[in-house]
Structure 1
Amino acid sequence: MEHAGFLPPDERKRLAAVPIDVQDPDLVVRAPHLTRWVLRHRRPESRALAEIRTTIDPALQKTVANLVEAHVQTFRQETLTNAAAVVLDNRSGAIQAYVGSADFWDKRHGGRNDGVRMLRQPGSALKPFTYAHALASRRYTPASVLADIELNVPEASGAFTPENYDETYHGPTPLRQALASSFNVPAVRLAREFGAAALLETLHRFGFDSLDRAPSYYGVGLTLGNGEVQPIELARAYAGLARGGPLEFSFPVAVKTGTSKDYRDSWTVGYTPRHTVAVWAGNFDGAPMDRMSGIAGAAPLFHSIMRTLGSGGDFERPPGLTPARVCPASGKRPGAHCPAPHREFFLSGTVPTDTCTVHRVVAIDQRTGRRAAPGTASRHVQQKRYAVYPERYHAWMREHDLPLPPTAPRTASPTPTAAAGSLQVTDRLRIRDPADGALFYVDPVLRDRYQRLSLKGMAPDAFRDVHWVVDGTRHASGAGRAMWQLRPGTHRIELRAWHEGQAVRSPAVQIRVVAATSPPNRSTVSEK
Structure 2
Amino acid sequence: MNKISRAFIISDVICFLLLLIFLFALPKTLFKSPTSYVIEASNGNLLSAAIATDGQWRFPVADSVPLKFKQCIIAFEDKRFYQHFGIDFLAMSRAMKQNWKAKSVVSGGSTLSMQVIRLSRKQDRTIWQKVLEMILALRLELKYNKTEIIGLYAANAPFGSNVVGLEAASWRYYGRNAESLSWGEMATLAVLPNSPSLVHPGKNTTRLIKKRNDLLDKLVKLKFIDQTTANLSKLEPVPGKPLPLPQNAPHLLNRFKADRKNLGFNSTKITSSLNEDLQLKVNAILKRYNNRYRANDINNISALVLDAKTGQVVSYVGNVYQPENVALQSHVDMIKAPRSPGSTLKPLLYASMLNDGFILPHTLIPDIPTQIAGYSPQNYDLGYDGAIAADKALSRSLNIPAVKMLQQYKYERFYDKLKKLGISTLNKPADHYGLSLILGGSEVTMWDLANTYLGMVRTLNHFNTYQGLYNPADYQAATYIPSQKIEEKGEERTSFLDHGAIWATFNAMEEVMRPGDEGLWEQFSSSQRVAWKTGTSFGFRDAWAVGLTPQYVVCIWVGNADGEGRPGLVGIEAAAPVLFDIFRLLPNGKWFEVPKTKLKKAKICRQSGYKAGEYCPDPIEELIPTAGEKTVICPFHKRVHLDHTGTYRVTDQCEQVNHMQHQNWFILPPAMEYYYKIKNSDYRSLPPYSPGCAIENNMGTMELIYPKNGASIYIPLEIDGTRGKIVLNAAHRNTNAKIYWHIDHEYVATTSHYHQLAVNPAPGKHTLTLVDENGERLVQFFTVLEKEKKK
Q: TM-score over 0.5 for the alignment? A: yes
The one of 366, 380, 390 equivalent to 1:175 is: 390
**Counterpart in 2 of 1:225?**
440
**Counterpart in 1 of 2:357?**
138
**Counterpart in 2 of 1:526?**
none
Query: Which of structures 1 and 2 has the larger relative contact order (alpha carbons within 8 angstroms, sep 6+)?
Result: 1
Unaligned stretches of 5+ residues in structure 2: 1-105, 107-123, 126-192, 205-240, 461-509, 515-523, 699-706, 716-725, 732-738, 760-765, 772-776, 785-791
Q: CA deviation at 1:493?
A: 7.1
**Counterpart in 2 of 1:407?**
688
Q: What amino acid is the match of 1:455?
A: L
Q: Distance in 1 between matches of 2:423 and 2:272?
A: 23
What is the SS of the residue equivalent to 1:308? coil
* Residues 121-160 of structure 1, C-alpha deviations (whole Å, 9 max, x = no match): 1100011111222122212221322111121121xxxx22
- Verify the 8 A CA contact 2:440 2:538 in the aligned structure 1: no
**Counterpart in 2 of 1:83?**
301
1:122 is the counterpart of 2:395: no
- Verify the 8 A CA contact 1:360 1:388 in the aligned structure 2: no
Q: What amino acid is the match of 1:506?
A: Q
280-289 vs 261-270, which moves further? 280-289
Q: Distance in 2 between matches of 1:123 and 1:299?
A: 14
Compared CA separation, residues 270 and 415, structure 1 to 2 (3 A) = closer
- Verify the 8 A CA contact 1:432 1:457 in the aligned structure 2: no
Spell out the pairing of 1:64-83 with structure 2 (5 A cutoff).
64-83=282-301
1:264 is the counterpart of 2:544: no
1:48 is the counterpart of 2:48: no
* Residues 5-56 of structure 1, C-alpha deviations (whole Å, 9 max, x = no match): 96699999x969xxxxxx9973513311101110222126744326423211
Q: Distance in 2 between matches of 1:509 and 1:184?
A: 26
Q: Distance in 2 between matches of 1:8 and 1:345?
A: 73
* Residues 69-112 of structure 1, C-alpha deviations (whole Å, 9 max, x = no match): 11111232233222000000112221110001112424231111
**Counterpart in 2 of 1:320?**
598
Q: Distance in 1 between matches of 2:446 and 2:199?
A: 54
Q: CA deviation at 1:482?
A: 2.9
**Counterpart in 2 of 1:446?**
none
Q: Distance in 2 between matches of 1:83 and 1:193?
A: 36
Q: What amino acid is the match of 1:100?
A: G
The one of 493, 498, 506 equivalent to 2:780 is: 506
Q: Distance in 2 between matches of 1:102 and 1:92?
A: 26
Q: What amino acid is the match of 1:505?
A: V
Percent identical among aligned pairs is 26
The one of 199, 204, 210 equivalent to 2:425 is: 210
Q: Distance in 2 between matches of 1:82 and 1:298?
A: 11
* Residues 364-388 of structure 1, C-alpha deviations (whole Å, 9 max, x = no match): 999x97569979xx9xx99999642
Q: CA deviation at 1:312?
A: 3.2
What is the SS of the residue equivalent to 1:172? strand
* Residues 329-376 of structure 1, C-alpha deviations (whole Å, 9 max, x = no match): 22235689978765543122534784675388986999x97569979x
1:347 is the counterpart of 2:625: yes
**Counterpart in 1 of 2:550?**
273
Q: CA deviation at 1:67?
A: 0.9
TM-score normalised over the length of structure 1: 0.71
Compared CA separation, residues 169 and 218, structure 1 to 2 (3 A) = same
Alignment size in residue pairs = 447
Q: Distance in 2 between matches of 1:504 and 1:383?
A: 28
Q: Distance in 1 between matches of 2:695 and 2:198?
A: 114
- Verify the 8 A CA contact 1:431 1:457 in the aligned structure 2: no
170-179 vs 279-288, which moves further? 170-179
The one of 323, 328, 332 equivalent to 2:610 is: 332
Larger Rg computed on CA atoms: 2
What is the SS of the residue equivalent to 2:327? coil
**Counterpart in 1 of 2:407?**
192
Compared CA separation, residues 11 and 42, structure 1 to 2 (3 A) = closer
The one of 452, 456, 462 equivalent to 1:237 is: 452
**Counterpart in 2 of 1:464?**
none
What is the SS of the residue equivalent to 2:277? helix
Compared CA separation, residues 82 and 172, structure 1 to 2 (3 A) = same
Q: CA deviation at 1:59?
A: 1.0
- Higher normalized helix content (fraction of residues): 2
- Verify the 8 A CA contact 2:297 2:566 in the aligned structure 1: yes
Q: Distance in 1 between matches of 2:671 and 2:456?
A: 34
- Verify the 8 A CA contact 2:355 2:627 in the aligned structure 1: no
Q: What amino acid is the match of 1:290?
A: P
What is the SS of the residue equivalent to 1:256? strand
- Verify the 8 A CA contact 1:165 1:183 in the aligned structure 2: yes
Give the superposed CA RMSD: 4.6
The one of 209, 229, 251 equivalent to 1:33 is: 251
Unaligned stretches of 5+ residues in structure 1: 17-22, 417-426, 436-452, 459-466, 487-491, 498-502, 511-528
